Amino acid sequence: MSANVPEILKLVVQTLKDKKVEDLTLLDVRKLVSYTDYFIIGTGNSSTHVQTMSDAVADLVKLPGERNTKPEVDQGSNWILYDGNFFVLNLFQKDSRKRYALEDLWQDAEQVNID
């Protein structure tokens, strides 16, 4: 992963990998939007898997004494969006990821190598 990626973002990516995220993508959107720096997009194989990954990231970035963001969850946990301030995490089940095609929507974003 690029050296200019914040350490906490590297930890988020590793946490998702540890939870067996599928098709993980990291997009640098700093030149495209003002509300965040990175989009993280991943796929889970069930609603439980998607929820577990979201919970793990929320626990990782939780700041003591701070008002922490709660994830936005659609019915059935087909898509969970978590605003981590400088990153936005989008976790999908497979069908929802295909339907929303965020990589196509944000095709002008730089894809960050996460290997």
Please tell me the distance from the alpha carbon of residue 22 to that of residue 77, in angstroms, as a whole number: 16
Domain that holds residue 86: 7-112
Count of domains observed in the chain: 1
Residue 105 falls inside a structural domain: yes
What is the chain's pLDDT, residue by residue, as a tens digit (115 residues)?
Answer: 666 888 889 999 999 999 999 999 999 999 999 999 999 999 999 999 999 999 899 888 875 554 556 667 766 668 899 888 889 999 999 999 999 999 999 999 999 988 7
Q: Is residue 41 one of the residues assigned to a domain?
A: yes
CA 16 from centroid of its chain's CA atoms: 9
Render 31-42 in DSSP notation, one character per residue: TT-SS-SEEEEE
Q: Is residue 72 part of a domain?
A: yes
**Residue 27's domain is classified under what CATH number?**
3.30.460.10
69 inside domain:
yes
Is residue 59, in this structure, part of any structural domain at all?
Answer: yes
What pTM does this model have?
Answer: 0.88
- Is 1 a domain residue? no
26 CB neighbour count, 10 Å cutoff: 24
The verdict on residue 75 lying in a domain is: yes
